[in-house]
Amino acid sequence: MAKKVTRRSFLKRVFGSLFTVAGVGAGGYYYAGHIEPMLLDINHHTIVKKSIPKSFNDFKIVQFSDTHLGFQYDRQQLIELIEKINKLKPDIIFFTGDLMDAPNKYQEGNQLIPLLKKLYAPFGKFAIYGNHDHGGYGSNIYKSIMEQAEFKLLQNSNQKITLLDGSAIYIIGIDDAMLGKPDLMTALNGVPEDSFKILLSHAPDLADEAKEFNIQLQLSGHSHGGQVKIPFIGALVKPPFAEIYHEGFYEIGDTPLTLYVNRGIGTTRLPFRFLSKPELTVFTLLSE
């Protein structure tokens, strides 16, 4: 279990990070507030595991996360992001939480439905809860939007993905660690032990629990890659449940479990990114 961090200590880190960025001068301050948040990395990775059925070779996954609409990210940017995702021609799409920054205050929620509905993947679109999706009495708001947009919302549940030859992989989604009630045992109900499993968990640090369940791949968000990073120091902003694992690949446990932490699209709390560009991730599966 990750070490508990109070809101006060977390905000202290955020402001400390901001002052550090500001210290590089007005140019750095402008870059962090107006340029880097508008950039986008599209990162391609191959996942090689012996448990991946051979018929799933070249199966393409696109993960996006943490848009935080209503804070700094807007609908027009979402439209452009959706176009980019569809051009990648994914087989399956995963959204790993935090759609709106404050769901009960966001006035354009219904307008998101037709936009998200345009996302297309032949094997489906799947989403999980992030802490902001629950926050501000947002749980039902988020659920309604995602389901009307034809996303399958996985909340301590799983979905089997089957090809024509009968081979299958399993998508497992758990609830958010901060404001939800994640339950891996329930989520894994009915999933064969020897199957290839992809776990969607907004909170990356839950990988330390997931490694005990023969899960091969975990995809997470939440951390924003630190949102603000300082050379030779690293990420200064690490929220609760993203303190151990906050960006990129990690190999955890004996199996091992491969964890990937996506940097997300938007920002939260403060509208800055520094050396932590927004990210869209493309994974291609390959049987070992």
Half-sphere exposure of 88 (CA within 13 A, CB side): 26
For residues 123 and 1, give the distance between their C-alpha atoms in angstroms, rounded to a whole number. Answer: 33
The answer on pLDDT for 67 being more than 70 is: yes
In the predicted model, what is the mean pLDDT of residues 127-149? 97
User: Tell me: the pLDDT tens digits for 73-107?
Assistant: 999 999 999 999 999 999 999 999 999 999 999 99
Band of pLDDT at residue 173, cut at 50, 70 and 90:
very high
Q: 1-51 pLDDT, tens per residue? A: 444 455 555 555 555 545 454 445 567 778 888 798 889 999 999 999 999
User: How far is the C-alpha of 110 from the C-alpha of 131, rounded, in Å?
Assistant: 20
Q: Is the pLDDT of residue 201 over 90?
A: yes
- The pLDDT value recorded for residue 236 is 77
What does pLDDT average to over the chain? 91
The model's pLDDT over 204-248, given as tens digits with 9 standing for 90+, comes to 999 999 999 999 999 999 999 999 888 888 887 889 999 999 999
